[in-house]
Structure 1
């Protein structure tokens, strides 16, 4: 399963998916934000566009849980 920019993961299996982790205020995994889709509509070529979008949304969810990104 290839990795996209922003720590999102992409699966090109049927159905495909893009997902990224959400962390809580302690830095522990709180959940995962993801999209699932039929690979007939979304192809691996879409991953460079979708991966960062999902990663940003997961980062925003982490921020809402008071997570402090060590890389920021």
Structure 2
């Protein structure tokens, strides 16, 4: 691994540890803990591509994407 990669990884680890320690987020026994309580991540994988549309297509419908995020929020996903 070259020096740039190692430096980048060390910076990420430092930033990550600062964010977690400042926000009350910890990892304990395979759980995210926020202010001492278990936090269950409810996340999804998202792509704004529609069926039969290529992922690298530049034809993105902003209104449809905004509606997708509205539905995701209404469904209760938190990450």
TM-score between both structures, scaled by the size of structure 1: 0.32
**Greater RCO, 1 or 2 (C-alpha within 8 Å, sep 6+):** 1
TM-score between both structures, scaled by the size of structure 2: 0.30
Which one has the largest radius of gyration?
2
More helix by share: 2
More strand by share: 1
